[in-house]
Amino acid sequence: MHHFHYSGSDLHCESVDLAAVAKLYGTPTYVYSAATMEDNFRRLQRGLAGLDAQLCYAMKANSNIAILRHFANLGAGFDLVSGGEIRRVLAAGADVKSSVFAGVGKTEDEIALALKNEIFAFHVESEPELARINHVAGKLGVKAPIAIRVNPDVDAHTHAKITTGKSDNKFGIPLKHAAAAYEAAAKYPNLAIKGVQMHIGSQLTSVTPFVEAVEKVAPFAAELKAKYGITYFSIGGGMGIIYKDSLASGQQAWWDAQPADKRPLTPETYGAALVPLLKPLGLKILLEHGRFMVGNSGVLLSRVEHLKRGAGKNFLIVDAAMNDLVRPAMYESYHEIVPLRRDSSRRALTADVVGPICESGDCFAKDRPLQEVGEGELIAFMSAGAYGYAMASRYNTRGMAAEVLVKGSSFELINARESFEQIIAGEKVPAFLK
């Protein structure tokens, strides 16, 4: 569920007319719904009722400091993958004492930063990393809390670029080698074994891979509890969102119309399947969801530049581009595209929706059925709250888009559009070229 809907003919985020946002801040602009984020967080909490659960928002999905503060206020910790992300949490006025630090290539400086800020635990991806964390902790005179990431070799049935739990992925230690890795960890004087972790991938739309992975790793977690006294089991994140029919899916009537066996994965279904498997362990359960928390909470507003009619092909050229939202170019992903003003009297249009960048890959959709829209009119790319702005670039010397947060009838700029002067601020012509 989300809080984007048409009020009359005009697309709204909560109680805010999105055309008013575009008029004030221009396009391309990301707009996020605070209420949708809170609803997603609360539903996941309720779905895990009966567990001692800590939700750690996987902030790589969207790391704007206003959004981090919003989740911190709700009680979230964070799933961190860089020193920069640690600094973002601190800049948001939060702390990392309920957060975990993941990633395959943590540097010594990043490890030290996490330890100085009292990280809850490191999620360790390899045995060489154990030695590095031990070394840094020793120099600081502390014990580093760690959990080893176990790779359960479960096929998440998702896009090849976002699967993480198979034996041929770079993440974690194979389950069959994990006991030896824990024995090695126990010998380091500056490590404190606190838990075990897994994460099998992103955009999972069935609960079955989650169940398979937990069933594989839970017996090992029980062994670790008996042998090392671990206190938590992190089951990662990865719950998917709706991209097709994403606008309709925000309405209760749409959900009610879906056959019971065809309904999308929900926090309720997820919790009902996993709580019975996890509760007998008597461990704290950590979860690191990102896309589910913010994906459907955001849209990207864009303005139509031209409708180019070709021989057998129409091109709707818009001012957003692959540098603003790279997912369609990078993952061949689908985003619903809707007009900000809906008009049933308009003719239907089938077109490729493309940006202005000098790349054939700068294409958001091919042969997409749309309401006919013309120059200067506004559209929205739905389900753009996750991996939109976070993966954006300055390709073609295009400044980063603006970001706006909505709460009820209020909205505020949380990241100003980048100017040309800001783009080149760190560049210079060296003296030997003058």
What is the full per-residue pLDDT of the chain (434 aa) written as tens digits? 799 999 999 999 999 999 999 999 999 999 999 999 999 999 999 999 999 999 999 999 999 999 999 999 999 999 999 999 999 999 999 999 999 999 999 999 999 999 999 999 999 999 999 999 999 999 999 999 999 999 998 865 544 444 444 455 557 899 999 999 999 999 999 999 999 999 998 899 999 999 999 999 999 999 999 999 999 999 999 999 999 888 877 776 766 677 766 678 999 999 999 999 999 999 999 999 999 999 999 999 999 999 998 788 999 999 999 999 999 999 999 999 999 999 999 999 999 999 999 999 999 999 999 999 999 999 999 999 999 999 999 999 999 999 999 999 999 999 999 999 999 999 999 999 99
- Alpha carbon distance 163, 159 (integer Å): 6
Residues in contact with 162: Cβ distance below 8 Å, sequence separation at least 6, in sequence order = 201, 202, 203, 331
| pLDDT at residue 271, rounded to an integer | 97
Amino acid found at 391? M
DSSP 3-state assignment of 109? helix
CA 158 to chain centre: 15
Beta strand 191-197 with 173-174: parallel, antiparallel or unpaired?
A: unpaired
Q: What is the pLDDT of residue 246?
A: 81
- Does the structural domain 34-294 have CATH classification 3.20.20.10? yes
Q: How far apart are CA 100 and CA 143, in angstroms?
A: 15
**Residue among 13, 56, 358, 363 flagged as catalytic:** 358
pLDDT digit string (tens) for 231-275? 999 999 999 999 988 887 777 676 667 776 667 899 999 999 999
Q: Under a CB-based contact definition with an 8 Å cutoff, are residues 291 and 246 in contact? A: no
- Say how far apart CA 382 and CA 403 lie, in whole Å: 15
Per-residue pLDDT at 155: 67
SS3 call for 366: strand
- Tell which residue, 273, 285, 310, 291, has the closest CA to residue 387: 291
Cross-strand pairs, 405: 32, 412
Q: Is 32 helix (H, G, I), strand (E, B) or coil?
A: strand
pTM over 0.85: yes
Q: Give which of 187, 385, 191, 176 is closest to 289, Cα–Cα.
A: 385
CA atoms of 211 and 18, how far apart (whole Å) = 40
Please, what is the Cα angle at 56 between 59 and 295, to 5 degrees? 45
308 CB contacts (<8 Å, ≥6 apart)? 314, 315, 316, 317
Strand blocks (E) in 168-243:
173-174, 191-197, 232-234
Pairing of strands 402-407, 410-415: antiparallel
Q: Given this chain, do its domains 34-294 and 296-423 carry the same CATH topology?
A: no
pLDDT for position 153: 84
The answer to whether residue 363 is catalytic is no
Cβ-based neighbour number of residue 104 at 10 Å: 13
Q: What is the pLDDT of residue 159?
A: 44
CATH of domain 296-423: 2.40.37.10
Please state the domain extents for the chain. Answer: 34-294, 296-423
